[in-house]
Amino acid sequence: MQHHDQSRFPDLRSYTLGMGRKLTKTRPPQAARLVALRKAAGLSQAELARLIGEPQANIAFWERTEKPPRSDVLPKLADVLGVRIEELLDVQAPSGRRAPAASQAKRLFDEVQKLPRHQQQKVLDVVSAIVEQFKRKAS
């Protein structure tokens, strides 16, 4: 890419200054809700996509349009985000959410279950020691 002389291309700077800026169009309420739930769960679009078995492009689409996720995706999405399906579809639904840390812990332990037994035991030993230490300090 060539370096352009500013005096020869005076409009080039104003053109490139706007590049990479955030979207200014407001998101539909349902899309904004999905973004908020994903961020509260501490997930990127790519991570969420992997966990529910969908392309990242689908997550991006659902997060910027009024079109809700497909009905076959809703249960997986609700489970990963720690909410009820109704909360994904209705921004006014009361929150039945688990705490984000609880949701993350559940996902992590789902992954631990896929490890070989001896590695699962190592994880359980560490977690058990931390829990016991917390109990001792709390009492």
Kindly report, residue by residue over 20-47, the tens digit of the pLDDT.
Answer: 555 557 888 888 889 989 998 889 999 9
Q: pTM above the 0.75 mark?
A: no
- pLDDT, one tens digit per residue, over 2-11 is 555 555 555 5
Determine, yes or no, domain membership for 14: no
Containing domain of residue 125, as a range?
A: 98-139
Contacts of 13 (CB under 8 A, 6+ apart): 6
pLDDT for 108-126, tens place per residue? Answer: 777 888 888 888 888 888 8
**What's the pLDDT score for residue 24?**
58
What total of structural domains would you count in the chain?
2
Contact 77, 88 (CB under 8 A): yes
Please give the C-alpha separations between residue 9 and each of 34, 80, 101, in angstroms, as whole numbers: 42, 50, 52
For helices 74-81 and 29-40, angle between their N-to-C axes, nearest 10 degrees: 50
> Same domain for 80 and 127?
no
In angstroms, the CA 45 to CA 58 distance is 9
Sign of CA dihedral 31, 33, 39, 41: negative
> Is residue 36 domain-shared with residue 65, that is, in the same domain?
yes
Other beta carbons less than 10 A from residue 23's beta carbon: 7
**Residue 27, Ramachandran bin (φ over 0: left; ψ between -120 and 50: alpha; else beta):** beta
CA distances from 63 to 13, 21, 36, 109, 126 (A): 31, 17, 10, 27, 37
Claim to verify: residue 65 and residue 112 sit in the same structural domain: no
